[in-house]
Amino acid sequence: MPPSAVPARLQLDGITKRFPGTLANDAIDLRVQPGEIHALLGENGAGKSTLVKIVYGLVAADEGQIVWEGREVVVTDPRAARALGIAMVFQHFSLFDALTVVENVALGLPPGERLDRLAERVVSVADAYGLPLDPHRPVHRLSVGERQRIEIVRALLQRPKLLVMDEPTSVLTPQEVDRLFETLRQLRDEGVSVLYISHKLEEIRSLCDAATILRRGRVVARLDPRAETAAGLGAIMVGTDIRPPRHDRSETTGPVRLAVAGLSQAATEPGESPLVDVAFEVRAGEILGIAGVAGNGQGELLAALGGERLSPPATISLDGGEIGALDVRARRARGLVYVPEERLGHGSVGDLSLTDNTLLSGLRAQALGMLGFLDRGVARRFAGVVVDRFGVATTGPAAVARSLSGGNLQKFLMGRELLQEPRVVVCGQPTWGVDAGAAAAIHQALFDLAAAGAAIVVVSQDLDELFLLADRIAVLNVGRLSSPLPAERLDAERVGLLMGGVHGETVDA
């Protein structure tokens, strides 16, 4: 189709945006045709989010212009974007847990419509696009996939001509991903354009008609992703060939390092998941993957293993010693390190320097002097070593954690734990939102530790990651853990079914 016949739905010409210290977008040109699913691909910090925020009116560009259906426009704020026909589904949902689906939808729309009328419209849109949704259920009762549907339905109710989706699949089961893709293809066939942000290369190859690849704020390629291999796309995105992590899967017959038996915990606060009779063993040199849809007890299991929540002594043991009743620091002293799911605010303090952040978990080992005095010189050197060894892009140990991109902060947090020569590693979402290059480095580090004899537990919602890393995989569903099975005897379909029993359905493993 020659571009002159129909004007592009969205055309960006020379968009440039500077932030203090960085050039987030450098003269970016982008063209999205009507009825096209267009991938915006790039590593963390490549400038994807900034660009779509400019399109949606959340950030003003310093230079360049936006042309909408052949007409130059100025998008001052999201309301102006919506008036043009641009809708956006964010990576992080903006929903009120205590309100129902339809109430949440109403909050995102201009006021004035009666709720029962709106509920009918929600149902009709949801049915038309295969997004089953009960408008009167409170949000806190819904799975993550269902919550995302609310956001999508809210966007579709505005009859958009361009739907922007920011990493929509990172929290979905494989079955939910398939359903989402059907919806997006249906929208495309109706002439809606989709701007699809992701770094999952296989997804982009199967879904998208065109791709624009960003690297360090610049467009480095425009291509048809269906004609490329995933490795080829990854290489263009990162700028070098990604070296796939290497791991010789030797027969793991080492001694049992970490044993969990009969670990149960009641949910004490609303929104928490209980843990029900969780049991597993991990041997030296072995990686156990724990899959599951978010909110099924991952955070609670990590807290119980890491020592933020205590249990009866015998429920958890490390090298035969009971550690259930030991707190975080006592467990660290015994060689159990722990990387929580949330990077900022849990694994690190955003406003403190990297040096100080090493003290969070490395206090005893690294820098505790006499009488409770801290030796920050030691901490600074340790932070420097982490930065060097894990290739963390930062100005140095004095940089505050918040200033690092997500991937770099994750490399730092993983490195902080892994350099403490752990015997057991427990980590949640090790590469969530991390670009391919950083993910490969983190995976390699985990393999190296396993090879050195550590027992490793990885809790992740990314099945590809678990199949890559894990020797055995178990699934967490409503606080119950299925019995771990060797990864080669499982496939995504089977794990997906185990994960999908969000409302109590179970599948025998």
Q: How far is the CB of 361 from another protein (least distance, A)?
A: 7
b/e for 453-475, b at 16 or more Cβ within 10 A?
A: ebbbbbbbbbbebbbbbbbbbbb
Closer CB to another protein, residue 97 or residue 342? 342
Beta-bridge partner residues of 475: 291
402 is a site residue for another protein (CB under 8 A): yes
Q: How far is the CB of 274 from another protein (least distance, A)?
A: 19
Q: How far is the CB of 48 from another protein (least distance, A)?
A: 18
271 is a site residue for another protein (CB under 8 A): no
Nearest to 258 by CA among 44, 450, 446, 390: 450
Give the DSSP per-residue string, 4-67.
TTS--SEEEEEEEEEETTEEEEEEEEEEE-TT-EEEEEE-TTSSHHHHHHHHTTSS--SEEEEE
Q: Which region among 187-195, 290-298, 305-313, 450-458 touches another protein (by CB under 8 A)?
A: 305-313
345 token code pair: 């605010």
Choose which of 2, 20, 110, 271 interacts with another protein (CB under 8 A): 20
Q: How far is the CB of 411 from another protein (least distance, A)?
A: 18
115 is a site residue for another protein (CB under 8 A): no
44 is a site residue for another protein (CB under 8 A): no
Strands (E) across 376-501 are located at 424-428, 455-459, 472-477, 480-481, 485-486
Four-residue CA torsion sign, 58, 63, 68, 72: positive
Choose which of 235, 400, 485, 497 interacts with another protein (CB under 8 A): 400
Indicate the Cα dihedral angle 420, 381, 46, 447, nearest 10°.
-20
350 is a site residue for another protein (CB under 8 A): yes
The count of other CB atoms within 10 Å of the CB of residue 103 is: 18
465 is a site residue for another protein (CB under 8 A): no
Choose which of 55, 301, 359, 378 interacts with another protein (CB under 8 A): 359
60 is a site residue for another protein (CB under 8 A): yes
What is d(CA 156, CA 388) in angstroms, rounded to the nearest whole number? 47
DSSP 8-state symbol, 226: G
Pairing label, strands 287-291, 455-459? parallel
Choose which of 240, 253, 268, 373 interacts with another protein (CB under 8 A): 373
Pairing label, strands 472-477, 485-486? antiparallel
Q: How far is the CB of 41 from another protein (least distance, A)?
A: 25
211 token code pair: 């791709």
Pairing label, strands 321-322, 71-73? unpaired
432 is a site residue for another protein (CB under 8 A): no
Choose which of 27, 236, 276, 352 interacts with another protein (CB under 8 A): 352
348 is a site residue for another protein (CB under 8 A): yes
Q: How far is the CB of 270 from another protein (least distance, A)?
A: 15
Q: Which region among 181-189, 269-277, 306-314, 460-468 touches another protein (by CB under 8 A)?
A: 306-314
Q: Which region among 136-144, 202-210, 368-376, 385-393 touches another protein (by CB under 8 A)?
A: 368-376
27 is a site residue for another protein (CB under 8 A): no
Closer CB to another protein, residue 400 or residue 485? 400
Q: Which residue has the tokens 């993550």?
A: 144
345 is a site residue for another protein (CB under 8 A): yes
Nearest to 487 by CA among 258, 284, 286: 286
308 is a site residue for another protein (CB under 8 A): yes
Closer CB to another protein, residue 23 or residue 360? 360
DSSP 8-state symbol, 344: B
Choose which of 243, 249, 329, 489 interacts with another protein (CB under 8 A): 329
Q: Which residue has the tokens 């991937």?
A: 407
Indicate the Cα dihedral angle 361, 425, 333, 411, nearest 10°.
-20
429 is a site residue for another protein (CB under 8 A): no
Choose which of 127, 327, 421, 491 interacts with another protein (CB under 8 A): 327
Nearest to 382 by CA among 425, 422, 337, 412: 412
372 is a site residue for another protein (CB under 8 A): yes
Q: Which residues contact 36 (CB under 8 A, 6 or more apart)?
A: 9, 188, 193, 194, 209, 210
Q: How far is the CB of 137 from another protein (least distance, A)?
A: 29
The count of other CB atoms within 10 Å of the CB of residue 258 is: 26
Closer CB to another protein, residue 6 or residue 398? 398
Closer CB to another protein, residue 73 or residue 485? 73
328 is a site residue for another protein (CB under 8 A): yes
Residues that bind another protein (CB under 8 A): 19-21, 60, 74, 76, 306-308, 327-329, 332, 338, 340, 342, 344-352, 356, 359-361, 363, 368, 371-374, 400, 402-403
